[in-house]
């Protein structure tokens, strides 16, 4: 088991680097000219980290299948999967391309876009998803 310490360290680094996001984001439709959209998404798990070890596809498939099986079992026992789906459904019903925010992001720079999306999330999702969680009966 001592030989797998590096894998445990990588796993810990990955888990602590992951984040869950739910809210509005800017999407680009690559038409001519490109069009910007504001869409509610999530919850999504993401990481900004890059892989630090060369693990082949078969190993990844085995570990991910085991993780999904074990995690799925835990989530089902704690009713997390129902809550996750409830949040997804509520987010799917939020307005797409809400105004005036959509018109404001076109000429804006990255900093202003971030500010606009933050205000939009506060309006529709609440602080820390408070509005969405209460609408789903989770708060």
Q: How confident is the model at residue 79 (pLDDT cuts 50, 70, 90)?
A: confident
Measured distance CA(110)–CA(108) in Å, rounded: 7
User: What's CA 89's distance to the chain center, in Å?
Assistant: 14
pLDDT at 99: 92
Mean of the per-residue pLDDT values of the chain? 80
pLDDT at 76: 66
Measured distance CA(44)–CA(15) in Å, rounded: 14
Q: What is the pLDDT of residues 12-29, one digit of tens each?
A: 776 677 777 889 999 988
- pTM summary value: 0.66
More confident residue, 55 or 93: 93
For residue 68, pLDDT over 70 is answered with no
Domain ranges for the chain:
2-53+80-135
User: What's CA 54's distance to the chain center, in Å?
Assistant: 26
Measured distance CA(77)–CA(83) in Å, rounded: 12
For residue 61, pLDDT over 60 is answered with yes
pLDDT at 117: 93
């Amino acid at each position: 088991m001592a030989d797998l310490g590096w894998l445990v360290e990588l796993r810990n680094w990955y888990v602590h680097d992951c984040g869950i996001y739910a809210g509005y984001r800017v999407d680009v439709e690559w038409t001519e000219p490109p069009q910007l959209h504001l869409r509610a998404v999530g919850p999504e798990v993401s990481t900004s980290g890059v892989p630090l070890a060369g693990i082949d596809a078969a190993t990844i498939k085995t570990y991910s299948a085991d993780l999904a099986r074990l995690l799925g079992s835990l989530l089902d026992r704690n009713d997390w999967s129902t809550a996750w789906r409830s949040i997804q459904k509520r987010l799917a019903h939020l307005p797409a391309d809400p105004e005036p925010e959509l018109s404001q992001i076109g000429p804006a720079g990255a900093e202003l876009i971030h500010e606009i999306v933050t205000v939009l999330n506060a309006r529709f999702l609440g602080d820390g998803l408070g509005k969405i969680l209460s609408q789903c009966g989770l708060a």
